[in-house]
Every structure is written in C-alpha cells, then in structure tokens.
Amino acid sequence: MLNPFITRFLLAAACFSGCLCTAQAADRNLIQTLYHTDFGEIGDGGQPRFTLGGELGLLAATGNTNANSLKAALRSEHETARWNNNYAAELLYKQSKTENDDGEETSEVTAQRFFGAAQFDYKLMTPGQRTFMYADYENDRFNGYDYRASLAAGWSQRMWNEDESSFVYSVGPGYAFVSVEDGTESNVNNGFIARASCEYQYMWNTGAQLRQFLSAEVGAENIKTRSTTALSANLFDSLAMKFSFNLAYETSPLEDVEGLNTETSVSIVYRFF
C-alpha cells in the first residue's frame, strides 16, 4: 500500500497534467480560430509547404550596340491544410546608349516595368474547391498609365493535381483602379470587372516543366488579357534554365500606345527552398 503522502502527490500530478493538456488543446484551438493555423497533415512530411524561387536574366552588349537589360522575378507558394497562397513579383528594365551627330553618348531607357500579384485560396470541405481573393499592381513607364491595380474575389477550383500535371482555374467579380500619367483618373478603364484565370502545369520525369497561364479582366470599356508560356529544364538540383514567352493585350489602350506587347526571354531560375 502506498504512503498517503505519495498517493496524494500522484493524484495532484495527474490532475495538473490533465489541466495542462486541456490548456494546451484550448490554446491550440484558439490559434487555429484566430490565425487559421493548420495542424493537419500536408503532403508526406505532415507540415505546411512553402516554396520560393528566383529568376534572373541579364544582357550587356557593347561595340556596335550598347545596351543593358535586366529581368528579375520572384515566385512563392505557401500551402497549409486550409489555405493555398501564391505570390509573384516581376521587374523588367532596359537601357540603350547611342551617339548623336556630335559624337556625344546619350542613354535612353526603353523598358521599365514592375508587376506584383498575390492570390489567396481558402480550401472548402470538398477537395479541390476553394474561394479566392486576388490583388495585383502594375507600374509600366511606357504603357501610358501612372499605375494600374485590380482586386477580385470569387470561386476557384483545382480540377486535378497529379504527379505529372495539374490544372486550376478561378473566376469572380472585381474592381480595377487606374491612374494616367498626369494624375487624373481614367474613366475608360476604371470600374468593375470580371476576372478569370487558369494555369496548367506539366512535369516530365527528367525534371523539365511546362507552365501555361492565362488571365482576362473584362470591363465595360476595356478587356485586358495576359498569357505566359514557360518551359524550364533542370541544370542542377536547385538550378534551372527557363525559356518564357509573355503576351499582354488590351482592346482599348491609351492613345499612341500599342495594345499588344510581347516579351521573349531566357533566364536562370534558382529555387531557394
């Protein structure tokens, strides 16, 4: 028979342990409620997944042609049991140097663009079905606008997600914010829009990957579309070579601005983690 003091000590310890476990469970539920932190299993490791990749392309030409160009991009994906978030940022800059009739060298910037976007998908109970929130911002020195931005929300669905390929789309209403270079608002391109996008990815056993992305923003006076076709091949474990073709088209561009713009590039992609 145990000593009464030891018995009381064991009972108190058991009580304290039970209260501690209950408090920890309550704290965990509180964190889940406030911050949507997901403790469920994600993939093989049972942990939320976060990836980050960087892209860099450089061109420096001298001699008969003097030009410098830079293309840089970051792309990230964060997936938990309840959320699938995607972030992207792109920078393009090009400068050319020419000599005038007096032999003086002058520099001229011929491309300067920044684009950033983020999409937050909240997973519903049915696998593959989600609601989304989307936001983007564009500052292009040569498209006639001081800036352009848009917000959208609606329905998103991952049609399939297999080892080799995946396909996801989203569609919903939104609003476009536009300011022209003189600081006044553009009534033609400012207002409610309907936004739709889709992305298809295919990966070969060798590690090469094909990505096709399409998006459209339909407004009362303007329709803006984007297309990105990218093919990448692994060089090393975290290093790849990427060939991409980007196309941007709008039906009602500003005066003296082209409605169709294309961009072809070859760059190095590094996956940080």
* 52 compared with 12, residue with greater pLDDT: 52
Instruction: Report the chain's C-alpha Rg in angstroms.
Output: 26
* 207 compared with 198, residue with greater pLDDT: 198
Looking at the fold, whether 30 and 90 belong to one and the same domain comes out as no
Q: Which H helix or E strand runs over 138?
A: strand 129-140
For range 89-114, the mean pLDDT? 85
For range 25-30, the mean pLDDT? 42
Task: For residue 113, count other CB atoms closer than 10 A to its CB.
Answer: 19
For range 220-243, the mean pLDDT? 92
Whether the CB-CB separation of 77 and 67 falls below 8 Å is answered with no
Task: State yes or no: pLDDT of 23 exceeds 60.
Answer: no
Looking at the fold, whether 3 and 105 belong to one and the same domain comes out as no
Looking at the fold, whether 87 and 141 belong to one and the same domain comes out as yes
Looking at the fold, whether 95 and 162 belong to one and the same domain comes out as yes
- Residue 183 has a pLDDT of 52
Looking at the fold, whether 56 and 163 belong to one and the same domain comes out as yes
Looking at the fold, whether 27 and 119 belong to one and the same domain comes out as no
Looking at the fold, whether 26 and 48 belong to one and the same domain comes out as no
DSSP state string for 241-259:
EEEEEEEEEESSPPTT--S
Task: For residue 46, count other CB atoms closer than 10 A to its CB.
Answer: 9
Looking at the fold, whether 31 and 86 belong to one and the same domain comes out as no
- Residue 73 has a pLDDT of 96
Of 64, 59, 126, 134, the closest CA to residue 95 belongs to: 59
Domain with 175, as residue range(s), is 42-271
Say how far apart CA 42 and CA 80 lie, in whole Å: 7
pLDDT-based confidence at 181, cuts 50/70/90? low
Q: Kindly state the tokens that stand for 259.
A: 């409605």
CATH value at residue 168:
2.40.230.20
Query: Does the predicted TM-score (pTM) go above 0.75?
Result: yes
Looking at the fold, whether 20 and 77 belong to one and the same domain comes out as no
Looking at the fold, whether 31 and 47 belong to one and the same domain comes out as no
Q: Kindly state the tokens that stand for 260.
A: 């169709």
* 84 compared with 207, residue with greater pLDDT: 84
Task: For residue 123, count other CB atoms closer than 10 A to its CB.
Answer: 19
Instruction: List, in order, residues 6 or more apart from 211 with CB less than 8 Å away.
Output: 199, 200, 201, 228, 229, 230, 231, 232
Structural domains of the chain, count: 2
The predicted-structure confidence for 41-82, as pLDDT tens digits, reads as follows 354 444 688 999 999 998 887 776 788 899 999 999 999 989
Looking at the fold, whether 101 and 1 belong to one and the same domain comes out as no
Looking at the fold, whether 89 and 29 belong to one and the same domain comes out as no
pLDDT-based confidence at 188, cuts 50/70/90? low
Say how far apart CA 36 and CA 32 lie, in whole Å: 5
